[in-house]
Structure 1
Amino acid sequence: MSTASALERRPAKLTGREFYKSIGSPKYIVAPMVERSEFAWRMLTRSFMEKDQPQRLLAYSPMFHARLYKETEGHRAQCMQPIRHDDQSDTDVPYLDGNPAIDRPLFVQFCANDPNDFLEAARLAAPYCDAVDLNLGCPQGIARKGHYGAFLQEDWDLIYKLINKLHTELPVPVTAKFRIQETKEKTLEYAKMILSAGASIITVHGRRREQKGHNTGVADWSYIRYLRDNLPPETVIFANGNILGQGDIERCLEATGADGVMSAEGNLSDPTIFSKIPEVGQEGREYWRGRDGRGGYRMDAVFRRYMNIIHKYVLRNPVPERKPLFLPSDPVDNTNEQTETTQNGTQQNGDINGKRKAEDDGHEKAAEPPSKKQKRNKDTRVTDPNLTAMQGHLFQLLRSLVKEHTHIRDTLAKTRAGDIARFEQILSMVEDAVKQGILEYEKNPEAFDKKPQNAEELHGSKATIAEYSRPWWVCQPYIRPLPEEALAKGAMQVSKKDQRKAAEAAKATAHAVSEKIETAPSAIST
């Protein structure tokens, strides 16, 4: 399937709310994340949606660099794999990214600072997506250095040209994602400019550019509500920020009036965040619910689904046969599984704390001198975006579990991209750890009830942790300390810029007070 033929078959371009309706008016959106919202992760998130409503979930690609994307086919292959060559028909057929049968709706996001580069890259991606998005929100240092993302927000003329170029010349709609400005009024004017350039949908992250790392803080939904109340009703708005759990989605929609809610970090910690919670008694083997009624999807279940997707779609291999996930109601099995991990990290096959014995790869490979082995490993460097992202995904998904089981953390840390056998080993270790955790809970559930009795009196991140915390084998969000808490602990320092601002404000206040005293009438004693 050539780019030209795919473009020729496209219907007339829709924009704005008509376009939004044409893709199913999705309420749930997987955010664009650098090296994190790739095909396999999108498929994992989609797999937890109700089968009869696949269009309720919109997903974005990872952020790609427009200039690099348009320059070489090799770089594009490390970003997306939309087609593959079918030898039988001798034609290109849909493969992974943007495959109409499994990966739609999909927006592809680029960072850019040159309208021509942006258009060239967008034209290459357009046949395989529903829209192209401009990143105006990345706050990282690399974006400052490269002059893109949130560091374009002072250059309104350039932003207008970037969006308008695609609006007038690209066969699919253009959208934009940006952060709030210093005031609601300036944010509104910024949004109006972006919409006037031709953006069909705007995604508003309720944090300012400087809110990142330890200074991430809390997103301000009131800015998004202000835009909703002051922009035309046909404007499609997605809200982003503060989505830690499923309950936050409806709260955000109600508070902001947005059409949809986007999740980034919340989705990485829990890819089931958009899914429907099973009814009591309908949990099955994937969902765990405690005696207090609180629960979530089990990490071993989510990890297993992830591995199955890698096998089926990325490697195009049969999905391995697997025994059912453990339930306490299962018949007692006293047989030793070959790959079962004991609590101290030692396995039946000789693995100790995640370290495997040397595997017999054949006499020829074993006989190779070290230099030849090193060369072979170097030559077979994995570049598939779905495989290179696996380790990072699992560290975020399993964050609470590997804190309890450090041998799993150590094994994961040493696992190379593409080493599927090692990832399968880690899955077995996780399954056994979850089994042990559930058995311990059955014996002593009070030991896992982390909700403090004085939860109503807690403040800051402690209150948030009390609300969202679950036993370590359940998917749960990562709760960052608030900036003031990070300052108190010494994990963050006030920047020189903020110190200067504070000093100037204090000086101005002192000067104003001094002038007021000097001009005030003298007190007359009587």
Structure 2
Amino acid sequence: MAEISPTGTSNSSPGRLMGRAFYESIGSPKYIVAPMVDRSEFAWRLLTRSYLDEERSKSLLAYTPMIHARLFRESAKYRDEHFMPTRSTLVTKEKSPDVPWLDGNPTLDRPLFVQFCANKPEDLLDAAEYVAPYCDAVDLNLGCPQGIARAGHYGAYLQEDWDTIYKMINKLHNELSVPVTAKMRILDTREKTLEYAKMILSAGASILTVHGRRREQKGHNTGVADWSVIRYLRDNLPSETVIFANGNILNSGDLEASLAATGADGIMSAEGNLSDPTIFAPPPKVYNPRQYWYGPNGKGGYRMDAVFRRYLDIIYRHSLDTEPPARKPLYIGGDPVDISGTPSAMNSEDQNPANKQKPNGKSKKYRSDPNVRAMQGHLFQLLRPLVSVHTEIRDALAKTVLGDIDGFEKVLAMVEVAVRSGLDEYDASRGAKPDVTTTADAVSESGLTPKQRTELKYQRPWWVCQPYIRRLPEEAIQVGAMTVSKKKTAKAQLRERLLGEKQPIRRTDDLKGLGLPLDQPSKELPQPALVCG
């Protein structure tokens, strides 16, 4: 293996920007949208960027969903269904002279890294050459812990096969026109994790993203990411090595905390971004209650109805090639009845001629669009707290088939009515009981579970974007949601002995909450989206 250089690249790197020089050339982004299977597609990336001002938006780095390298290499149809830089079929590795469209559009979608899963260097290089003209780097997924990755021998299930990993990264490093990066999970000990990271960097990876969870931490066993291992890597790798930290980012307040704790150059968000695509954005510069809810003690958040509207408008403009319907202003307290409400779009099609030719999204063309395919899953993730309360909206969303844009409009109208009722009820309760924090203050700290403590810090009213709070593994075991085998128990005990007195850096939950109920129902909700890596 090649020796690692001070810049975190191999000594045989080609004459192009690498490592920190490359990172600085794309704006030194501090905030990163993670690669997520069928979830970090163009429309969602654009939605996330849309909440940032122009300068900050350009410095936000985003990853595509994980793409299967062999399938991408072999099938033009698969390429068209997963990466759409122009309106033409992606049949050549040369940059197309056609007008840029969606993925990698220089004015809308950069900087952009394209992530692949692979286990053969030739497959990875061949696939990467198709996307290289339209992205800033190609990333190798070494973190997917799901069963499909085990079956396909990729993602986190390559982490024992260092030779294959080295060969894949090094081949791209030596032969691809853009830099190669990698996303990994931590191993059982920090020392082994450091060796692993050094190997990846020595192969030629320009940037290393470290997810602070081990391979077995998934589903009910997701638990808490260990920031201390990422800090250990930061302290023991050359200072010129660019590191992104991933894990434990529930809302915007965690971003700076993670940067400080890990020493990383940038912070990546996956599930936090799915629940709240405004996670990287500050509140509006100008007071705007139709978009943002201003809660007590400075704890606010963007309204779900406003985010839903913006997301749907992006789908109209960029996937359906038409302007969205004219919409009434979103409701705020004190508005007359006819200002907002049902439906979201103006009732008269004559008020927007585009409506007369509005595509319903059900054609084969739109059904193959990854942005349209992801809509229902995104909305279940975004609206989770709301549909826990309004199960009729959950049912309507579940019945909305792929590409049924009219169906999604009806769901939006229902959401707007629900948010209106929530705002009115909240205002009424504030009038009767001005201090809404009294409920939280009255709750005994000793009587709270870890999940409830976390909810007190992060929970907002159900109509405001907020993170999905998982149970810790020990809580999941107590309620019977998961069981632990003897083998896993023994492995965990061994790991604790190896770690000794070194305690992981974890998020400290603040118990000063909003006083909102801890027992919001969650009837028959779909599972959170699959997030690999």
Normalised by the length of structure 1, the TM-score is 0.83
Change (3 A) 1:282 1:338: closer
CA contact (8 A) 1:48 1:275 kept: yes
CA contact (8 A) 1:214 1:483 kept: yes
Residue 34 (structure 1) aligned with residue 37 (structure 2): yes
CA contact (8 A) 2:342 2:414 kept: no
Measured after TM superposition, the shift of residue 56 of structure 1 is 2.3
RMSD: 2.6
Instruction: Give the distance between the partners of 1:131 and 1:91, measured in 2 at CA.
Output: 20
Name the counterpart of 2:325.
Answer: 320
Residue 229 (structure 1) aligned with residue 214 (structure 2): no
CA contact (8 A) 1:50 1:276 kept: no
Name the counterpart of 2:6.
Answer: none
Measured after TM superposition, the shift of residue 54 of structure 1 is 2.1
CA contact (8 A) 2:327 2:344 kept: no
Name the counterpart of 1:355.
Answer: none
Name the counterpart of 1:46.
Answer: 49
Measured after TM superposition, the shift of residue 459 of structure 1 is 4.8
Name the counterpart of 2:474.
Answer: 484
Q: 1:401 aligns with which of 350, 365, 386?
A: 386
Residue 141 (structure 1) aligned with residue 147 (structure 2): yes
CA contact (8 A) 2:18 2:206 kept: yes
Change (3 A) 1:338 1:61: closer
Measured after TM superposition, the shift of residue 381 of structure 1 is 7.9
Q: 1:494 aligns with which of 455, 474, 484?
A: 484
Name the counterpart of 1:109.
Answer: 115
Q: How does 1:92-491 map to 2 (within 5 A)?
A: 92-278=98-284, 282-330=287-335, 332-333=336-337, 339=343, 382-445=367-430, 446=433, 451-454=440-443, 456-457=445-446, 458-491=448-481
Instruction: Give the distance between the partners of 1:502 and 1:221, measured in 2 at CA.
Output: 18
Instruction: Give the distance between the partners of 2:302 and 2:259, measured in 1 at CA.
Output: 23
Change (3 A) 1:382 1:185: same
Match for 1:453: what amino acid?
A
CA contact (8 A) 2:179 2:206 kept: yes
Unpaired runs of at least 5, structure 1: 1-10, 342-347, 350-360, 362-376, 506-526
Instruction: Give the distance between the partners of 1:500 and 1:460, measured in 2 at CA.
Output: 24
Match for 1:497: what amino acid?
K
CA contact (8 A) 1:283 1:289 kept: no
Instruction: Give the distance between the partners of 2:205 and 2:231, measured in 1 at CA.
Output: 19
CA contact (8 A) 1:451 1:469 kept: no
Task: Specify the SS of the correspondent of 2:66.
Answer: strand
Instruction: Give the distance between the partners of 2:295 and 2:83, measured in 1 at CA.
Output: 40
CA contact (8 A) 1:37 1:61 kept: yes
Change (3 A) 1:20 1:402: same
Name the counterpart of 2:68.
Answer: 65
Residue 82 (structure 1) aligned with residue 85 (structure 2): yes
Change (3 A) 1:269 1:459: same
CA contact (8 A) 2:40 2:63 kept: yes
Instruction: Give the distance between the partners of 2:78 and 2:344, measured in 1 at CA.
Output: 40
Task: Specify the SS of the correspondent of 1:487.
Answer: helix
CA contact (8 A) 2:212 2:225 kept: yes
The one-character-per-residue Cα deviations of 1:187-234 (angstroms, maximum 9, x if unpaired) are 111000000000000000000000000000000000000011110010
Name the counterpart of 1:357.
Answer: none
Q: 1:24 aligns with which of 9, 24, 27?
A: 27
Task: Specify the SS of the correspondent of 1:481.
Answer: coil
Change (3 A) 1:504 1:244: closer
Measured after TM superposition, the shift of residue 335 of structure 1 is 8.5
Name the counterpart of 2:18.
Answer: 15
Change (3 A) 1:189 1:401: same
Change (3 A) 1:336 1:129: closer
Task: Specify the SS of the correspondent of 2:82.
Answer: coil
Name the counterpart of 1:514.
Answer: none
Unpaired runs of at least 5, structure 2: 1-13, 90-95, 349-356, 496-533
Higher relative CO (Cα under 8 Å, sequence separation at least 6) belongs to: 2
CA contact (8 A) 1:28 1:260 kept: yes
Change (3 A) 1:103 1:488: same
Task: Specify the SS of the correspondent of 1:202.
Answer: strand
Change (3 A) 1:33 1:340: closer
Instruction: Give the distance between the partners of 2:309 and 2:261, measured in 1 at CA.
Output: 36
Once the two structures are overlaid, the 10-residue window that deviates more, 314-323 or 212-221, is: 314-323
Task: Specify the SS of the correspondent of 1:92.
Answer: coil
Q: Which of the two has higher C-alpha Rg?
A: 1
Measured after TM superposition, the shift of residue 283 of structure 1 is 3.5
Measured after TM superposition, the shift of residue 329 of structure 1 is 3.4
CA contact (8 A) 1:455 1:463 kept: no
Instruction: Give the distance between the partners of 1:469 and 1:203, measured in 2 at CA.
Output: 28
The one-character-per-residue Cα deviations of 1:415-472 (angstroms, maximum 9, x if unpaired) are 1111111111111111111011001111013597663533654451111011101100
Task: Specify the SS of the correspondent of 1:134.
Answer: strand
Instruction: Give the distance between the partners of 2:144 and 2:29, measured in 1 at CA.
Output: 24
The one-character-per-residue Cα deviations of 1:226-284 (angstroms, maximum 9, x if unpaired) are 011110010000000000011100000000000000000000000000001246x7234
Instruction: Give the distance between the partners of 2:340 and 2:68, measured in 1 at CA.
Output: 50
